[in-house]
């Protein structure tokens, strides 16, 4: 069985490394899809005039910058 070194210098079975890399890629793709969906919703909300709509846009913008609303 082949192994790779992890960041702590320990050996990890290659199949586990590959599974983690695949899961990481899948999660990144999901984050990108959700971000794009949020951007589309933001653009549709920005046309609204209620304070709730404006608050939702401000919260989305803050979340994209990594800030807590």
Domain of 34, in residue numbers: 3-64
Evaluate whether residue 56 is within a structural domain: yes
pTM above 0.75, yes or no: no
Evaluate whether residue 23 is within a structural domain: yes
Evaluate whether residue 54 is within a structural domain: yes
pLDDT of residue 6: 60
pLDDT of residue 22: 94
How many domains in the chain? Answer: 1
- Residues with Cβ within 8 Å of residue 68, at least 6 apart in sequence: 62
Assess contact for 64 and 35: CB atoms under 8 A: yes
Q: Identify the sign of the CA torsion 43, 48, 54, 60.
A: negative
Alpha-carbon gap, residue 39 to 63, rounded angstroms:
11
**Closest C-alpha to 18, from 26, 30, 10:** 26
pLDDT in tens, 1-56: 565 666 666 787 888 888 999 999 999 999 999 999 888 888 777 666 677 777 88
Place of tokens 């599974």: 19
């Amino acid at each position: 069985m082949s192994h790779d070194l992890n960041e702590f210098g320990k050996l990890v079975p290659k199949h586990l490394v590959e599974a983690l890399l695949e899961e990481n890629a899948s999660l990144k793709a999901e984050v990108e899809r959700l971000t794009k969906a949020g951007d589309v919703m933001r653009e549709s909300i920005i046309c609204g005039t209620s304070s709730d709509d404006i608050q939702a846009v401000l919260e989305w913008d803050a979340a994209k910058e990594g800030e807590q609303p």
